[in-house]
Every structure is written in C-alpha cells, then in structure tokens.
Amino acid sequence: MKIKVTSAKGAATSKEVSLSKDVFGIEPNDHAIYLDVKQHLANRRQGTHKAKERAEITGSTKKIKKQKGTGGARAGSIKSGTRRGGGRIFGPRPRNYHFKLNVKTKRLARKSAFSYKAKAKDIMVIDDPKFDAIKTKDFETLVANLKLDNSKVLMILGEKNDNLYLSSRNLKKIKVVTADSVNTYDVLNAQKVVMTSSSIEVIEKILN
C-alpha cells in the first residue's frame, strides 16, 4: 500500500511511502481491539472511590425503638443503610482496576486499528516537521496547512521532539505521541492519523 507524502506546508510532494500489509492491511480483529481499549481505560482509572458503610457512620448504637408492639418493622440501628443518614449498602471501596493483557494481543489490536484507518483513508504521511522554538501559533499554522483545523488529530512522531510536543499541548483536538508509545485507543479516537515519514519504520519494526 502506497501513500503520497505531504509537505509541512500542505502541498503534495513527489515522494511516496509504502505501508506494510502486515501492519496496515490485515483483517481487523475486533475482540483484540475491545480488550486493548478496555485495558487502557481501566488502567487510567484512579480507583480512589469510597463511600461510608454503616460501621463508619457517626451515630448512636442505641436501639431506636422496642422490638415488638409498635406495629412497624423492627429497627436496631440509626446507622442502617435503609434509613436516611445511614451508611451506604455495599458502597464502592478503593480498588485497582488494572489487568494484564498479552503483548501479542496488544500488537494485534494496534495492527487492527491502523488497518481500519488505512482502509478508511484516514492516514496522512507528512515530512518530519522542524520546530526551532516552542510556538503554539506555528503548530496551528501546520494543522491549518494540512486542512485539519476541525478534526481530532493524532500526530505520530518517529522520535521525541519537545518543541513540537509543547507547541501542541494547549490544543484540545490535537495529540502528539512518539511511535513507540502509540496505543490502540488513541488511534481509534482520532478522526485523522498524521504520521511523519520517520515514524512508519519505527511502528512497523515494533509491530512486526
């Protein structure tokens, strides 16, 4: 599969890059994608939720009313979860949502995500942009040149570029990552995947 390379100014160039069919042209595995996205979202959870149960509520332990003869249901504690101001019944407790996933499954999920994007023609390849200083305005100009102003964009770099990353950090619809840290969720969550020429080789090396 061949894709033409676009310049940083948004103009088409004579250069072309070949995308490996083993990464960008496989039959997508939806279950692998589901598991990888589920793990990613689970690992992002803090798990610090907590509600007080009846043993943790401040209140008297005296029996509210006598056991029999009132005509109502028996009641022993003001801290009961069935009473107003009482403790939460089976409330949430702090827990760790993390779970393990095989490396091969995660690789298959990323390949499937890239294959979906390639099939939908939502992958764009550009020359490696050069940023000599941290300027959000310059990055906005780059996105405008690529005609992606109103799209949710994932930009994948071949190697770390602090100036480019920091220039994009204030923009809500843009996410910049390096090829060795890209995940399935980010690929699928973006409307357009913009890859630099140097990132393709790194991605294909990792996923193959």
Q: Is the pLDDT of residue 129 over 90?
A: no
104 plus 87 within the same structural domain: no
Are 130 and 141 part of one and the same domain?
A: yes
Same domain flag for 185 and 201: yes
Query: Is the pLDDT assigned to residue 197 strictly greater than 80?
Result: yes
Question: Region 165-174: what's the mean pLDDT?
Answer: 91
Q: Hey, what are 57's tokens?
A: 């509520």
pLDDT in tens, 19-44: 999 999 999 999 999 999 999 999 99
Instruction: Indicate whether 6 pLDDT > 90.
Output: no
Question: Taking phi first (over 0 means left), then psi (-120 to 50 degrees means alpha), and beta for anything else, what does residue 124 get?
Answer: beta
CA distance 81 to 56: 12
Per DSSP, what are the bridge partners of residue 157?
A: 178
**pLDDT value at residue 4:** 85
Q: 78-84: long-range contacts (C-beta < 8 A, 24 or more apart)?
A: 79/54, 79/55, 80/54, 81/53, 81/54
| Confidence check: pLDDT of 104 > 90 | yes
Residue 57 has a pLDDT of: 93
pLDDT of residue 130: 85
Over residues 35-54, the mean pLDDT reads 96
Q: What is the pLDDT of residues 110-119, one digit of tens each?
A: 999 999 999 9
- Residue 4 pairs in a beta bridge with 16
30 and 129 belong to one structural domain = yes
Instruction: Label the pairing between strands 2-6 and 12-18.
Output: antiparallel
**Strand runs labelled E in the chain:** 2-6, 12-18, 123-126, 153-157, 174-178, 192-196
Q: What is the pTM of this model?
A: 0.83
Mean pLDDT of 42-71: 93
Domain edge (last residue) among 77, 95, 113: 95
Under the phi-then-psi rule, with left for phi > 0, alpha for psi from -120 to 50, and beta for the rest, what region is 59?
left
**pLDDT of amino acid 8:** 79
For the cut 80, the answer to whether the pLDDT of residue 152 exceeds it is: yes
DSSP E strands in 37-164: the ranges are 123-126, 153-157
Strands 2-6 and 123-126, bridge-based pairing:
parallel
Closest by CA to 111, choosing from 203, 18, 9, 14, is 203
Which of these three, 56, 77, 95, is where a domain ends? 95
Whether residues 41 and 57 share a domain: the answer is no
Q: How many Å apart are CA 90 and CA 95, to the nearest integer?
A: 14
Instruction: Tell me which residue has tokens 């676009």.
Output: 6
Residue ranges making up the domain that contains 182: 2-45+97-207
Residue 204's pLDDT is: 92
In this predicted structure, what is the pLDDT of residue 28? 95
Phi then psi for residue 133, to 5 deg, are: -145, 165
As for how many domains the chain has, the answer is: 2
Alpha-carbon distance 164 to 39, whole Å?
29
101 and 91 assigned to the same domain: no
